[in-house]
Amino acid sequence: MMTLVRDVPLEGSVEVQQQGEVDPDAVIELFNFLEFPSLVPRLPEAFPELFGARVAPAGSERTVVSPELTLTDDAAQVAQALEAASATGRLAIMAAWEGDPGRSELSGVAVVTDRDSAEVAWVPAGLLVGPLSEELAAGRVAVVTHDAKPLIRSLLDLGADLRALHVDTALAAYLLDPSDAAYGLAELLTRFASVELPGEDVPPEGQLDLGGSGTDVATATAARALGVAFLVDPLVEAIEARGLKRLAEEVETPLVRVLAKMEHLGVGVDRDVLVALADSLREQCDIERAAVIEAAGEEFNVNSTPQLRTILFDKLGLPPQKRTKTGPSTDHQTLEKLRGEHPIVEHLLAYREVEKLRSTYGEGLIAEVADDGRIHATFNQLVARTGRLSSDQPNLHNIPVRTETGRRFREAFVPAPGYRLLVADYNQIELRVIAHLSGDPGLVEAFRAGEDIHNRTASRVFGVPEQDVTLEQRSKAKMVSYGLAYGMEAYGLAQRLAIPTGEAQEILDAYFEAFPSVRAFMDATVAQARDRGYTETEFGRRRRIPELSSNQRNVRMAGERQAMNAPIQGLAADIFKVALVRLDAALEAAGTTHESDRPGPAASDGELGRIVLQVHDEVILEVPPDRIDEASAVVLHALSGAFDLAVPLEVNLSVGSSWAEAKA
């Protein structure tokens, strides 16, 4: 039982608490943002005069797109279809492939010639080079599509170039909510346009129904193209309402073509170097496996968790560190804690490291080398919630660099004949972003003076003159600085430095005492994210963090770390993306890179350089040897001028005949 507290001082009258005017568009936007799809159709029931015309009544049927398909047979029909589509000022297209989108042969594209009458033309692959490719390259009509990068990549393979991408509906949906796991066209149509694609007989997005006819493929692709035509306006309106227009139009959308060009061109590799590395790693694996078995005193399967568990904890009597559902853990973290307890632990850790290098990068990279001697990875824009780029097929962002053996893989990445590699990377961009966002005088002053930021940080954290800072103190300060960019707290710092949590907390407290504005910025960021439900970068990039409202403490704390991390990583990602767009535009303006995207035996006349790889905050170019100085100036201008931070954006440049040589 309880008694209400009735003497709380309240300001204002009862009238103040009455509901004021309602902005129906803002309500619908908020409900969509908070993912209340079942509540939106119920709004007209409660407020018919406000929402009746804006929201379909609950239980109403959605429109099913049903295209009127025309199959084009020659260039004249394609030109006629394009003329009809161009009259609308917008070219809505979708593509179909024989297999994986962007990595297999194009079957054709569907072009919406009239959305209102559902008229769509099917252009088979054989007719893509001609009027359609000329129109795409000319950029006279705004192109809208869903997941544009595979299409642009495939067109580049055909010698065509889509240079007027206006809206990528998958990309727009990602910007509206980067926390979604996927951005399928069918789901977006249901959510934003009350439109449905045809039924289950439609093949999966972007792939052919190999058991059906070409007409079936054309019809299915036409339905998707028509769906894009219905979807684009609601998404554009939502982008503008959310303040994301600049980010979409100036950064993310132009970046799609830049990444497609990188995928199409690929990065050169020396296959012989990879084979030699794989063979060497295989030998090291055999040596370390034998050492593990010798330390165990009996033969067993080193890769078998149950057998390893028996050896470590039953036979050798090592103390278990944590338990899983099936027994004591044998993961990397557990083995690290057991270092020094028995010789088998060191050999196990060494074996696992070498085995991962062998399987993932030794044999894994060899399998990805194409017939042209290059690796054509995929760069993902729609994965990381912070806006960071990632890569797969293969994951070139995870090329190991922390060990000498891992760094040897960079030796295999080489330029095409007639080129050198020019490597440019931002110097401590996350720390510079922290200085910019927090405005901390100590950090800002250090960066502007060009000082060793880690030495300055260690001096202030440990209270010693800068000339007396030890290597260990500098390393700890460096770990703290970079850890803060990822929302790391005392426990995480303790794990990384292998020190007690209490000591790690003392180091963190000393850091925040030395740089109080950083602590104030992070506290304010978390408070604002808790109030809004999301974080936001200076470019308007938002990240929802529902974990902040969880009733579970661990989940809330994870949300707080995400809130600290998102503005820093998000702004760093925005800056790098702007830099890539600026750099690609500058290279095209200075030469003829768009005419020489295919790797050749020698540099093309007039070509200044071409982007072949992006890894974290690093971009790698192929540059003719006689234009290194000119290209370096262009790269430096593009990257250092990408954003006006409160501190300088410093860029490191290096040149080599391999990635390893340049980084050395």
367-417 residue pLDDT tens: 999 999 999 999 999 988 889 999 999 999 888 777 777 788 899 999 999
Per-residue pLDDT reduced to its tens digit, 454-481? 888 888 888 889 888 898 888 888 888 8
- The neighbouring-strand residues paired with 380 are 390
| pLDDT in the model for residue 199 | 65
pLDDT in the model for residue 27: 83
CA torsion sign for 315, 320, 324, 325 is positive
Q: Is the pLDDT of residue 642 over 80?
A: yes
Confidence band, pLDDT 50/70/90 cuts, at residue 254: very high
pLDDT at position 603 is 46
At 605 the pLDDT is: 55
What does the buried/exposed string (b/e) look like for 376-395 if buried means 16 or more CB atoms within 10 Å of the residue's CB? bbbbbbbebbbbbbbbebbe
- pLDDT value, residue 596: 43
CA triplet 159, 164, 165: central angle to 5 degrees? Answer: 100
Backbone angles phi and psi of 92, in degrees to 5: -95, 120
pLDDT digits (tens, 9 = 90+) for 129-144: 888 888 888 777 889 9
Termini Cα distance of the chain = 72
Cβ-count burial 61-86 (b if 16+ within 10 Å, e if not) = eeeebebebbebeeeebbbbbbebbe
| pLDDT for the residue 37 | 64
d(CA 624, CA 591): 12
Chain centroid, CA 93 distance in Å:
25
Nearest CA to 596 out of 585, 609, 583 is that of 609
- What's the confidence (pLDDT) of residue 389? 93
Is 213 in a helix, a strand, or coil? coil
pLDDT tens across 342-361, in order?
999 999 999 998 998 888 88
Residue 250 has pLDDT above 90, yes or no: yes
- Chain centroid offset of residue 332 CA: 27
* DSSP assignment string, 252-307: IHHHHHHHHHHHHH-EEB-HHHHHHHHHHHHHHHHHHHHHHHHHHTS---TT-HHH
pTM of the predicted protein model: 0.84
Question: In what helix (H) or strand (E) does residue 366 lie, and over which residues does it extend?
Answer: helix 364-368
Q: Would you state the pLDDT for residue 207?
A: 46
Record the tokens describing residue 79, joined without a space. Answer: 């030109």
- More confident position, 19 or 616: 616
pLDDT for residue 215: 54
pLDDT at residue 211, rounded to an integer: 40
Q: Which two tokens stand for residue 644?
A: 């006006």
Bridging pattern class, strands 618-623 and 651-656: unpaired
Q: Mean pLDDT over residues 143-157, rounded? A: 94
Lowest mean pLDDT among 288-292, 482-486, 556-560: 482-486
Element (DSSP H or E) covering residue 459: helix 453-462
Work out the mean pLDDT of the chain and round it to a whole number: 86
Cβ-contact 147, 260 below 8 angstroms: no
Q: Output b/e per residue, 225-236; b: 16+ Cβ within 10 A.
A: bbbbbbbbebbb
Query: Do 342 and 316 meet the contact criterion of CB atoms below 8 Å apart?
Result: yes
Instruction: Report residue 27 CA to chain centroid gap.
Output: 30
**What phi-psi label fits residue 270: left (phi over 0), alpha (psi between -120 and 50 degrees) or beta?**
beta
Cβ atoms of 346 and 312 closer than 8 Å? no
Enclosing H/E stretch for 407: helix 404-407
DSSP, collapsed to helix, strand or coil, labels residue 97 as: strand
Report how far residue 220's alpha carbon sits from residue 416's, in angstroms, rounded to the nearest whole number: 40
pLDDT for position 53: 56
pLDDT tops 80 at residue 62: no
Average pLDDT over residues 627-641: 95
Are 147 and 170 spatial neighbours (Cβ–Cβ below 8 Å)? yes
Q: Can you tell me whether residue 645 is helix, strand or coil?
A: coil
Report whether 152 contacts 597 (CB < 8 A).
Answer: no
3-state SS, one letter per residue, for 129-169? CCHHHHHHHHCCCEEEECCHHHHHHHHHHCCCCCCCEEEEH
Question: Could you tell me the pLDDT band of residue 54, with boundaries at 50, 70 and 90?
Answer: low
Residue recorded with tokens 């998707």: 224
More confident residue, 58 or 351: 351
Section 14-20 average pLDDT: 77
Mean pLDDT in residue range 55-83? 77
The mean-pLDDT minimum among 196-205, 237-246, 303-312 falls in: 196-205
In the predicted model, is pLDDT for residue 597 greater than 60?
A: no
* Higher-scoring residue by pLDDT: 49, 475: 475
| 592: confidence class by pLDDT, cuts 50, 70, 90 | low
Separation between Cα atoms, residue 517 and residue 512, nearest integer Å: 8
Give the residue carrying structure tokens 């200075």: 590
CA distance 162 to 140: 11
Domains of the chain: 20-27+34-59 (no CATH), 63-242 (3.30.420.10), 275-368 (1.20.1060.10), 404-427+575-663 (3.30.70.370), 430-572 (1.10.150.20)
pLDDT digits (tens, 9 = 90+) for 198-239: 864 444 444 444 344 445 889 999 999 999 999 999 999 989
- Res 203: pLDDT: 47
- Give the pLDDT confidence score for residue 513 in this predicted structure: 87
Interval 104-122 mean pLDDT: 91
Instruction: Classify residue 375 as exposed, middle or buried by CB count within 10 Å of its CB (0-12, 13-18, 19+).
Output: buried
Read off the pLDDT of each residue in 105-112 and give the average, rounded to a whole number.
91
- For 456, residues 6+ apart whose C-beta sits below 8 A from its C-beta are 442, 446, 466
